[in-house]
Structures are given as C-alpha cells and as structure tokens.
Amino acid sequence: MNKAIESWIREHEADMVESLCGLVRIPAISPLDGGQGELAKAEWAEGLIERLGLPRPERYDAIDPKARGGVRPNLIVKIPGRTPLTTWFVSHLDVVPEGDRALWETDPFEPFVKDGRVYGRGSNDNGQELIASLYAAAAYRRLGILPETQIGLAFVADEELGSVFGITHLLEKGVFGKDDLVVVPDGGNDKGDFIEVAEKSVLWIQFTIEGKQVHASRPDLGNNACRAANFFSVELDEALHKVFPETDPLFEPSCSTFEPTRRFANVANVNTIPGRETLAFDCRILPQVRLDEVESVIRDVQSKIERKTGVKIGSENVQRAEAAPVTPSDSPVVSRIRNSVRRIYGFEPKVGGVGGGTCAAHFRKMGIPAVVWAQESDTAHMPNEFAVIEHMLNEALVFADMAGAE
C-alpha cells in the first residue's frame, strides 16, 4: 500500500486510542434499553471529524421522541476520490447497556488502556472500527492524496435494536448507490481472515402441546402431552433434515440446521402426567431454501402428531428472518477487501456465510452487495469488553488500502 498513508496511520496510533477513549466515555444506548440515544456521541464525533480536517458531516436525523433531542442521528462523511466509485465503511454509534456492573473490573464508560487494549462498553462494538475508518479517511485528507475511490463514512444509530432509525433510514433516503462498495466492519474474528458474504435464514419457533393432565397411575383418563411432545420433536427433527438436505460450501456447517433447543418445565412431580408441554426449535436455513417450504413441512408434522395422539399443537414464531441475497464471491467489493487483507496481513482470507442476521443484510435486500469484515476479539456485549489497539491499526490500513492509493 501507499507508504505515506501507512506511516501516517501508524504515527497516529496514540491519537486513535485517545479518540476511541473519547467515544467510550459517551454512552449511546437506545431509549428502548433505558438510554438517551446517540445525539451526545454524534455531536462529539462531529467535533472529532472537524479536528481531523475532514469535510463537515451531513446529518440524517431520524425522529424518535423518546431519545434526547427527539432524534436518532446518523452521520455521513464523504471525501472525494479519482473515480466516481465510493467505498463505504458503515459503523454504528450505539452500544448495548453494560449489563451486570459487578462483572466489570473497571467502569464500563470510563475507558481503561492496558496491555495494548482499550477496555469499555462499545470499545470493540463498534468504536474500534468507527475510529479505524475515520483515520483511514483522515490519512488521505491530511496528506492531500486523492484515493482511487471516494471514501464514504457512515456512523449510524440504532444498530443494536433493529436499525429502523439507523441504516434503514439512510437506505430510504437514498444515501447509497447500487454500484457502491459497502463494508460493514461489525463482525469477524481475531485473526481477521473471515469475510462474511451471506447468512442463513433464521426461524425460532415455539410449540405448545395440549393434552390432558391426570394422575400418573391413570393414563387411560388423560392424554400425555409429554409423550406427544417427544413424538413430535423426534418426528419434526427427522422430517426437516430429510426434506432439506441441501448443502452450500459457503457455510459452516454447510447444511441447514434444525435443532430442538428449549424445553419448558412442565409438572413439579414424577407422578403426574403433564397436560401441557412447550418446546422450541432453532432453525438456520440456507438462503436457497424458502422459509414457507420449511413452514409447510412443520405444519404437516403438527397435524400428523395431532391425528396420532389426539393432542392440539400450537406454534408461535419467536423470530423469523428470511435471509438476504448472497453477495457474490466475485463481486468487486469482495475482490477488493480480499486483496487488501492479503496485502496487509500476508494471508488469504476465507469468504463465507454465517448463521444469520447481520447489518449487511439491509444492503443486500436493497440489491447492494455488502461484506462484513473486521479483526476483533470476541468481546462484544460482554462485561470487560475490549478493543485490541493493533487490530484497530490493521483495520485502518485495510480500509485505506481498499480505497486505493497508487
């Protein structure tokens, strides 16, 4: 990559750490989680953007009367390039609450720097990447070098609770174009060798089996919901695996998964035959299989067991999300980030899919290919969340390299 850009980023390590600390100090928690939203943090970020000499950000406020200032702010910064193409780095301002404070060794909103790490809520998710992308853009600006593509930074609200006031708002406003290169650096591993291009559909479904409760010595007078639930669970498990055997090497595991998971408590003693059972399945379905096909198989098994045992089986979706279209592995954004990872780290990254539900899905559903990549430790949402400073620096180099400087 361009040596001047690389040196500039490396020389600004301390500055990047300080900026990340500044972000951590301002909680940006959704009003639905008892917070005030992102306004204070967005205003602080606007100041930082100005100090770094970047163009004044455009604000796209989504109205939310529950938040401070009545808005959920989204910031867009664009710096010009030599071509009309834009490389976007989309990170989020909001953080999840700290959870049980007793599990934290330091104040979650007072950043603590130790052993090459920055501790604090939001340091990893998603402050590390917000700062990395910001300094990648600043390097070009400060050195007066035009990148090959324009660089777009989007710092969005509301990622943790559905993105209605965040990325969805920006997509509705037409901020992004079909040919834009979109990177959502909000997921990855601590090696930095995984580029996510696809996700499975998610179906979490809960079943209630209604029989008739009686004393265990008189099964003839009742209808054992436990037995019916056992039949049903085994039958459904087998049917789903049999009807949907497809595999796709993009994913690990490469097949759809249908797992019986939660089983609710039924009766409190051994000598009662339960009249009601509740159980759940977690299904992660390959994008080439339609969710309504899966649901039709589920309905068939429900009626079969109802006929066989005389119970009633009701169902309720706990979560249902149809997978977005896959970002093709040969699309320009995948090739570019793959090349940049290869150049910065010296290894070949894997391109693959995950079990479900990322922010990139919002882009993919609009027909904009997007990738998820980051180098990060697995501490998001956890007590003592931390960002590794070296990861943040590497990410800044990859982002700068992607936008290109010959």
Active site residue 159: yes
Q: Residues 159, 196, 248, 401: which is the catalytic one? A: 159
Smallest separation (angstroms) from Zn ion to the CB of 170: 16
Binding site for Zn ion (CB under 5 A): 125-126, 186
Alpha-carbon gap, residue 318 to 279, rounded angstroms: 12
The smaller minimum CB distance to Zn ion, of residues 94 and 248, is found at 94
Minimum separation from the CB atom of position 186 to Zn ion (A): 4
CA distance 185 to 129: 6
Give min distance, CB of 371 to Zn ion, in A. Answer: 15
CB of 123 or CB of 150, closer to Zn ion: 123
Minimum CB separation of residue 232 from Zn ion in Å reads 37
| Catalytic, out of 94, 98, 385, 401 | 94
* Shortest spacing between CB 68 and Zn ion, in angstroms: 21
Q: Say if CB 167 and CB 90 are below 8 A apart.
A: yes
Nearer to Zn ion, 186 or 385 (CB): 186
CB of 202 to Zn ion, least distance (A): 17
Residues 310 and 212: their CA atoms lie apart, in Å, by: 10
Q: Which is nearer to Zn ion, 61 or 186 (CB)?
A: 186
Bridge partners (DSSP) listed for residue 203 = 283, 320
Please answer whether residues 209 and 228 qualify as being in contact, where contact means their C-beta atoms are separated by less than 8 angstroms: yes
Of the pair 64, 186, the CB lying nearest Zn ion is at 186
Report DSSP state, residue 145.
Answer: P
Q: Are 198 and 363 in contact (CB under 8 A)?
A: no
Residue 94 catalytic?
yes
Cβ contact 274:224 at 8 Å: yes
Contacts 24+ apart (CB under 8 A), 342-351: 343/1, 343/401, 344/1, 344/394, 344/397, 344/398, 344/401, 345/192, 345/193, 345/394, 347/193, 348/193, 349/192, 349/193, 349/194, 349/195, 349/373, 350/193, 350/194, 350/195, 351/195, 351/197, 351/250
Cβ atoms of 182 and 90 closer than 8 Å: yes
Residue labelled with tokens 């339960």: 274
Nearer to Zn ion, 126 or 256 (CB): 126
Beta bridge partners of 379: none
Instruction: Give, for 168, the enclosing helix (H) or strand (E).
Output: helix 167-172
**Cα–Cα distance for residue pair 232/303, rounded to 1 Å:** 10
Smallest separation, CB 96 to Zn ion (Å): 9
> What is the token pair recorded at 268?
């409190």
Catalytic residues: 94, 159
